Amino acid sequence: MMEDRRNVYLYYKRNSEIEGQLNTIKEFAKNYGFNIVDHYKESNIIVSFGGDGSFLQAVRNTNFRQDCLYVGVATNRPNSLYSDFSLDDKDKIIEAISSEQLEVRKYPVLEVSVDGQSSFLCLNECSIRSGIIKTFVIDVWIDDQHFETFRGDGMLVSTPTGSTAYNKSVNGAVVDPKLPCLQVNELASLNNNKYRTLGSPFILSNERKLRLQIVQDGNDHPIIGIDNEALSIRHVKNIDFKLSEKVIKTVKLKDNSFWDKVKRTFL
Ligand code: NAP
């Protein structure tokens, strides 16, 4: 039950300016019966302060908690994709997280597994880029069927909420997070008589699985990014993707649909 959620963990990059502002927020929250906890494992509400980058970090560093509600508070610019509140909205935040009729928004999450061993979750995207000046080659498999052979700078696999991030910069479509799917996009593909790719982004249903197989031709040490972190794995062959059964839960406010957010961020 949402009304039982009372333990709040505040996630922020420590500096004296924000500490001062947060002291007021902490006092305010306590007066409304919330406990500010020191460790995220004790919380059931996680509030991130900063921008979208901070929200991504807050979710990653607290391990994509399924039993928590995540709340994004923008500190230095207008609200963004994941930050629904600004620092001045103290009353609005308290009202939203204490409301009995609280509506929860669920964001799909991508599951990435590298060579069948390590597995990671992403809220925005996983990017695979050549680690050297030369292009590299990737075989793309959909549901165990070979689809295309890519040669170029790299590929992106994005969630719907990640569709407005890196994916958008490479002309991918903006996707409604109510659609559980993942988007595959190219980074500068070579297209000639030898290499041919679809050349446009494509969207896969949550029932599909995708494999990117790095051709082992010497240039098989890509840089793999999960949201805003780089994986330290050096040598990679197969990267498998599917939509996770996990989701990230955030507060759903009135007049703040995904498309309202897209409008305020980009238009
Ligand atoms: P950053 O490189 O410092 O900033 C990336 C920018 O993207 C920031 O302005 C950030 O917003 C914004 N952003 C992040 N997630 C977004 C989303 N889902 N929708 C719309 N905008 C979003 O890195 P960062 O702040 O740590 O964010 C990491 C993300 O940067 C990666 O997940 C990737 O999507 C993106 N990225 C984009 C490019 C590109 O567009 N060429 C290249 C590399 C990475 P805030 O200012 O509110 O934090």
Q: Provide DSSP, 85-118.
A: EETT-HHHHHHHHH-TT-EEEEEEEEEEEETTTE
The answer to whether residue 262 sits within a structural domain is no
What CATH number does residue 193 fall under? 2.60.200.30
Q: What percent of the chain has pLDDT over 70?
A: 99
Contacts of 194 by beta carbon, 8 Å cutoff, 6+ apart? none
Residue 52 annotated in active site: yes
Q: Which residue has the tokens 């009304």?
A: 3
75 assigned to some structural domain: yes
Residue 253 lies in a domain: no
Q: What is the pLDDT of residue 106?
A: 96
Is pLDDT of 218 > 90?
Answer: no
> Is 23 within a domain?
yes
- Residue whose Cα lies nearest atom 36 of ligand 1: it is 166
Report the mean per-residue pLDDT for the chain. 92
Spacing, Cα 165 to ligand 1 middle (Å):
5
Q: Quick one: tokens of 251?
A: 């507060």
**Whether residues 223 and 127 fall in one domain:** yes
Residues 24 and 50 in one domain: yes
The structural domain count of the chain equals 2
Q: Which residues contribute to the annotated binding site for NAD(+)?
A: 52-53, 124-125, 151, 153, 164-169, 188
Look-up of token digits 């590298």: 114
pLDDT digits 0-9 by tens, 223-248: 999 999 999 888 899 999 999 999 99
Please compute, for residue 227, the number of CA atoms within 13 A of its CA located in the half-sphere on the CB side: 21
Given this model, what pLDDT does residue 9 score? 96
Of 57-61, 158-162, 190-194, the least confident: 190-194
Residues 243, 258: Cα–Cα separation, whole Å: 19
Between the CA of 189 and the centroid of ligand 1 the distance, in Å, is 22
Phi, psi at 63, each rounded to 5° = 65, 40
Rg (CA), the chain: 20
* 164 Cα: distance to centroid of ligand 1 (angstroms): 9
- Mean pLDDT for the stretch of residues 139-165: 97
115 φψ region: left (φ > 0), alpha (ψ -120 to 50), beta (else): left
Phi-psi region of 218 (alpha: psi -120 to 50; beta: other; left: phi over 0): left
pLDDT value at position 1? 46
| Atom 5 of ligand 1, residue of closest alpha carbon | 53
Phi, psi of 92 (to 5 degrees): -65, -40
Positive or negative CA dihedral for 95, 96, 98, 100? positive
Q: Do 136 and 31 fall within a single domain?
A: no
Greater pLDDT, 95 or 121: 121
SS3 assignment, position 165: coil
> Taking residues 62-72, what's their average pLDDT?
96
Instruction: Could you list the residues known to form a binding site, using ranges.
Output: 52-53, 124-125, 151, 153, 164-169, 188
Q: What is the mean pLDDT of residues 257-264?
A: 92
| Pocket-forming residues, ligand 1, beta carbon under 6 Å | 51-53, 56, 80-81, 124-125, 161-162, 164-166, 169, 227-228
Q: Global pTM?
A: 0.95
pLDDT at 67: 95
Residue whose token pair is 């333990």: 7
pLDDT (0 to 100) of residue 254? 81
218 and 129 co-located in one domain: yes
Nearest CA to ligand 1 atom 35: 166
pLDDT at 128: 97
- The CA-based angle 62-63-67, given to 5 degrees, is 85
Residue nearest to atom 7 of ligand 1 (CA): 165
Domain range enclosing 24: 2-101
